[in-house]
Amino acid sequence: MNPPQNDTLLRALRREPTDYTPIWLMRQAGRYLPEYNATRARAGSFLSLCTSPELATEVTLQPLARFALDAAILFSDILTVPDAMGLGLHFVDGEGPRFARPLVDEEAVANLAVPDPERLRYVFDAVASIKRALAGKLPLLGFAGSPFTLACYMIEGGGSADFARVRRMLYARPDLLHRILSVNAEAVAAYLAQQQAALQAAGVPVKTHLIAAPPAEAILRCSAAEDADLIVMATHGRGGLERWWHGSVALDVVQRALRPVLLVRVEQ
């Protein structure tokens, strides 16, 4: 497989010498860009922007035209996965994401299932479209949210200042929270695997670099099965990550900042 023309980030992840520290941003495409705001207005809503492969490709490429960045990152949202589970995602101006059908009782948790990948086809089509548009110039990073982060939104029904419902479930019904986390872990693993498969189906012979957050052994199994390196982001620092993943992987710190980033290279 041929490396991209600018492979500085990939070499840094492998702890190889680089001429400079590579840069990419978590919210690389966003409201700080006038062209993003124009595209967002054309889309009509943030969710419409996420679900259009053409527009998602357009906004993914916009910051690359302005800045000398070292990777593209898929434009999407972590809550597309629970939306595909049937929770009814929508965005309220000034408030952020909301779910029409949050997990408020045992029946809702019991009915939770890993979504049909076809319900997320627009994401996978965007992955393939972006990679083709990059034309081998830069790496493309895919991503997914952590099972616990998703669970918090799914239980609370949106953002929360105190996560009271999540904490109540944790202490009163830990079995329900464990089921949600188990389903989410399998869903995220499948989601990342499908991002990799989208590149292969598009005839792009490159190794994929996926971003996820702990904790989920299923995500690690996905990385091993798909021959994809996994970039792990967490707020706990290096020590917490080393305690989480141990024995089967090698951890390399590539960024020491507010959010430590580590490459997890699977040992076959």
Catalytic residues: 27, 31, 40, 77, 153
Q: Which residues of 167-193 are buried (b: 16+ CB within 10 A; e: fewer)?
A: eebeeeeeebbebbbebbbbbbbbbbb
Count of residues making up the chain: 268
Count the Cβ atoms, other than its own, within 10 Å of residue 64: 18
Asked if 60 contacts 66 with a C-beta cutoff of 8 angstroms, the reply is no
Give SS3 for 120: helix
φ/ψ of 198, rounded to 5, equals -60, -35
Nearest Cα neighbor of 241 from 268, 267, 212 is 212
